[in-house]
Amino acid sequence: MQQQWPVLSYEKSQSTFDTLHMWTQIVGKIKLATLPWVNHSWHITLHITTHGLTTQMMPYKDEQFQIDFDFIEHQLKITTSKGEFRQFDLHNISVADFYQKIFVLLAELNIDLKIKPVPVEIANPIPFKEDSIHASYVDEDVKAFHQALILMQKVFLKFRSGFKGKASPIHFFWGSFDLALSFFSGRRAPKHPGGVPGLPDKVAEEAYCREVSSCGFWTGNETFPEAAFYCYLYPEPEGYKTAILQPKEAYYNKTLGEFILPYAAVQQSADPENSLLQFLKSTYAAGADLAKWDRKILED
């Protein structure tokens, strides 16, 4: 039998999602501070685990350490290659509290790192040390979010297996708070215009320096208050906006410049995995054909 996908409501869970977003930015910036640069910022992402999200291993002097969000035990956990362990509870703390707690624990482990303590990719950011507004952690919302990510990753893995060209990992970008997967044609792309709030233009220019088809999922925001799957091509080929897709609930959002499939349409489908896979396959195929990608080389 198909596993039932959890209900996700941006309206109901916004406070928790916004708090998690800021917490993941703090952890992600710690990862950014430890690793050499990798193309398309792939080195800074988080990854889905059976219990939540992880940085994977990060180097510091003569050891490795790892930070994990445990959404089952509701803890933030830090482990090291020397067998040391620290954790704190995620309930009833603000972003400012989270920021203070994680750096206290890192100091106890003799890990001394500096990050730019301001969120990125959002308008009017509040410095982490000053953010007492975002302080919500509702267990059922977090569990639903985590369970949905696990189910999505299974479908994304199947979709990714059919592409033989350069492709990204399936990973979680903390800047935009989205699960993402990208395929590349191998050709150079025109210079990206930049303009992402709180993000240097050079980062966006490097991220989009090659033709790319990207798909993913995000929980929504104030501009688009709905959990949804997305897909876009950069640069966007002529005719892309009017491409015929599956399933029927998919549509092109002119404001976002992306194809959208509401999460609710997948969650309520008789076959959620197939509905999502149809969307991923049809958006990629439409874009790749219109952009004249060499699909024989990329897929055979």
Q: pLDDT tens across 214-259, in order? A: 999 999 998 899 999 999 999 999 999 999 999 999 999 999 999 9
Determine if residue 298 is left, alpha or beta; phi over 0 gives left, psi from -120 to 50 gives alpha, anything else beta.
alpha
pLDDT at 197: 86
User: How many Å apart are CA 261 and CA 54, to the nearest integer?
Assistant: 27
For the residues 279-293, what does the mean pLDDT come to? 98
Q: How many residues does the chain have?
A: 300
> Hey, what are 15's tokens?
């406070």
CB environment 124-158: b (16+ within 10 A), e (fewer): eebebeebeebbbbeeebbebbbbbbebbbebbee
- Measure the CA angle with vertex 247, ends 224 and 167; round to 5°: 75
- Residue 143 above 90 pLDDT? yes
pLDDT digits (tens, 9 = 90+) for 153-197: 999 999 999 999 999 999 999 999 999 999 999 999 999 999 988
pLDDT value for 272: 97
- Mean per-residue pLDDT, 66-88: 98
pTM for this structure? 0.96
pLDDT level of residue 60 (50, 70, 90 thresholds): very high
What element of type H or E holds 59? Answer: strand 58-60
Would you place residue 3 in the very low, low, confident or very high pLDDT band (cuts 50, 70, 90)? confident
The whole-number average pLDDT for the span 200-206 is 94
- What angle do helix axes 139-160 and 272-290 make, rounded to 10 degrees? 50
Q: Is the pLDDT of residue 1 over 60?
A: no
3-state secondary structure of 124: coil
Give the pLDDT confidence score for residue 198 in this predicted structure: 84
Q: What is the rounded CA–CA span in Å between residue 97 and residue 131?
A: 9
H/E stretch holding 68: strand 63-70
